[in-house]
Amino acid sequence: MVVRLNIGCGQSPTEGWNNYDNSPAVWLARSRLLTALCSRTRLLDEHSIAFAVFCRDHDIRYANAAARIPHGTGTVDAIYSSHMMEHLDRSEARSFLAECLRVLRPGGVLRLAVPDLRNNVQLYLEDNDADAFVEYLLFDLDKPRGLRQQLNRLITGGRNHHWIYDRQSLTKLVEKAGFADVQVADGTSTRISDPGALVLDERDGDTICVEALRP
């Protein structure tokens, strides 16, 4: 049986794959009562509540993949993660890649897509607008203010970016994690033998994508 994981799927789960996300909305979705309570008390904003309902309807499972991917060692054929790694700090990113290496079978494929720093810098050089550039990076810059914001941050953990990559830095990070044959990929082809419904060109135009093999 082919085992394929979409990690950090958000609102883009892949049919026929095991879809995971680390948003508290995922485990919140298990309880309709708790979801309603968080909505009524406004502990979570409308977006988080809507996402909880979406997760329940689309069988998205919870996993903190920077700590542990819930699959056995050497049991997974392919892992896809799109626009998730930028939400991890450097230590979490290394831990996530170590978990990917652990669960993939020899020859298994890791496909990562992240925002493209070079593209963002090019836009800044064209516009010369530093404020717009920093805002576009979506870094976790603003501290929560007030009890409600602090509670919401405690529950959600913050959803903005902690790092950004270009193709060289992402390739180097994946190689250092122990993967082999790391290549920049495009939105038209993949080394995943059975991608099924996977959208290869997701967020094309503002994305770097690399694929690597488990030795």
- Rounded mean pLDDT of 135-159? 67
**CA gap 136, 54 in Å, rounded:** 26
pTM equals 0.89
pLDDT at 143: 66
Average pLDDT of the chain to the nearest whole number: 89
Q: What is the pLDDT of residue 28?
A: 74
**Can you read off the two tokens belonging to residue 123?**
């836009």
Q: What is the mean pLDDT of residues 129-155?
A: 73
Please give the DSSP secondary-structure letter assigned to residue 165.
B
Are 106 and 77 a contacting pair, CB within 8 Å?
no
pLDDT at 158 over 80: no
Q: What is the pLDDT of residues 186-207, one digit of tens each?
A: 999 999 999 999 999 988 778 9
H helices of the chain, where? 24-28, 32-41, 46-57, 90-103, 117-127, 130-137, 146-156, 167-176
pLDDT on residue 96: 98
pLDDT higher than 70, residue 157: no
- Position 51 scores a pLDDT of 80
- Confidence check: pLDDT of 125 > 60: yes
Instruction: Measure the CA–CA gap between 133 and 33, rounded to whole angstroms.
Output: 41
Bridge partner residues of 7 (DSSP): 20
At residue 147 the predicted structure's pLDDT band, cuts being 50, 70 and 90, is low
Give the model's pLDDT for residue 121. 93
Average pLDDT of 70-98? 97
Q: What is the DSSP letter of 145?
A: -
- Higher-scoring residue by pLDDT: 71, 40: 71
The pLDDT value given to residue 169: 98
If phi > 0 it is left, if psi is from -120 to 50 it is alpha, else beta; for residue 98 that is alpha
Res 180: pLDDT: 98
pLDDT at 170 over 70: yes
Q: Answer whether residue 144 shows pLDDT above 80.
A: no
HSE of 95 in the Cβ direction (CA atoms, 13 Å)?
11
pLDDT digits (tens, 9 = 90+) for 172-187: 999 999 999 999 999 9
Domain ranges of the chain: 4-22+63-213
Residue 112 DSSP symbol: E
Cβ–Cβ under 8 Å, residues 42 and 150: no
100 CB-contact burial (10 Å; exposed 0-12 / middle 13-18 / buried 19+): buried
- Which of 5 and 204 is assigned the larger pLDDT? 5
| pLDDT given for residue 52 in this prediction | 81
Can you tell me the distance from the alpha carbon of 63 to that of 139, in angstroms, rounded to the nearest whole number? 23
CA distance 208 to 166: 7
Question: 4-22+63-213: which CATH topology?
Answer: Rossmann fold (3.40.50)
